[in-house]
Amino acid sequence: MTQVPADVLEAVSGARSIVVMTGAGMSAESGLATFRDPHEGLWARFRPEELATPEAWEADRDLVWAWYQWRVGQVLAAEPNAGHRALAEWSRSTDLTLVTQNVDDLHERAGSTDVRHLHGSLVAPRCTDCARPAPPEPPPVEPVERLTPPRCEHCGGAVRPGVVWFGEVPHGIDAAADAVVAADLLVVVGTSGVVYPAAGLTDLAVELGRRVLLVDPAAASRDGVTSWRTTAATGLPALVDRW
């Protein structure tokens, strides 16, 4: 079992209410490419930023839907790792609020409940017009460049990916901030904690004098933050085991 540094144990000791915020590094350990990783094959010539906007959706819905369905296929082929499972176990033994910047469902499949997806979810599409949830569509077996989105069963509008695009407001960011205010400890996993608006949660915790633990292989030193340079799948099971 991985040894947990003394300063990390001190950071989490006695915490009664915990917020955990996870980022792309958590899912990368399950084999999922991060958003800006270079694509291969069919999608290699497209930049993600060109497809992840409301303007791209309005310009070519078949193209955007096909790209997101390809990403859905990647998510469904991945499995939760030991870090996901450790957080699910931790949530059963303490007051823990789980906030994620990731758009996969690996936390849920590991057993976590009430996961707050700041950037939405690939497996939770919704109607463009009435915003009602729509059942997920199975992705094609092989990637295709164009795929007509399904229609909403309520209003007939086009079903869109259930993610937050560039230019849209993250889901539940105010509620996440409220949870940080009420917590004793913020644990940031698999993310640098410097990309806004999610990084604002780290800033808020530091400003309020809350304990902050950053778990990431590239964790940088910062005033008011305890940094542990390890991966989620390695560090979190050891930390929860010592809890």
Q: Do domains 1-31+80-123+169-243 and 33-77+126-160 have the same CATH topology?
A: no
Architecture of the domain delimited by 33-77+126-160: 2-Layer Sandwich (3.30)
Cβ 155 vs Cβ 126: under 8 Å: no
What is the rounded distance in angstroms from the CA atom of residue 70 to the CA atom of residue 157? 22
Cβ within 8 Å of residue 1, ≥6 positions away: 237, 238, 241
- Per-residue pLDDT of the chain (243 residues), as tens digits, is 789 999 999 999 999 999 999 999 999 999 998 776 666 677 778 888 889 999 999 999 999 999 999 999 999 999 999 999 999 999 999 999 999 999 999 999 999 998 999 999 999 999 999 999 999 999 999 889 999 999 999 999 999 999 999 999 999 999 999 999 999 999 999 986 666 777 889 999 999 999 999 999 988 888 889 999 999 999 999 999 988
Cβ within 8 Å of residue 54, ≥6 positions away: 165, 167, 168
Cβ 199 vs Cβ 21: under 8 Å: no
Active site residues: 119
pTM of the model: 0.93
Backbone CA torsion sign across 100, 105, 111, 117: positive
pLDDT of residue 192: 67
Decide: residue 58, CB within 10 A, 0-12 exposed, 13-18 middle, 19+ buried.
Answer: exposed
Class of 1-31+80-123+169-243 per CATH? alpha beta
Q: Both tokens of residue 11?
A: 């950071």
Residue keyed to tokens 């809890």: 243
What is the rounded distance in angstroms from the CA atom of residue 114 to the CA atom of residue 5? 30
Q: Where are the domains of the chain?
A: 1-31+80-123+169-243, 33-77+126-160
pLDDT of residue 193: 62
H-run or E-run covering 9: helix 6-12
Alpha carbon distances (Å) from 205 to 176, 193, 208, 210: 11, 12, 5, 5
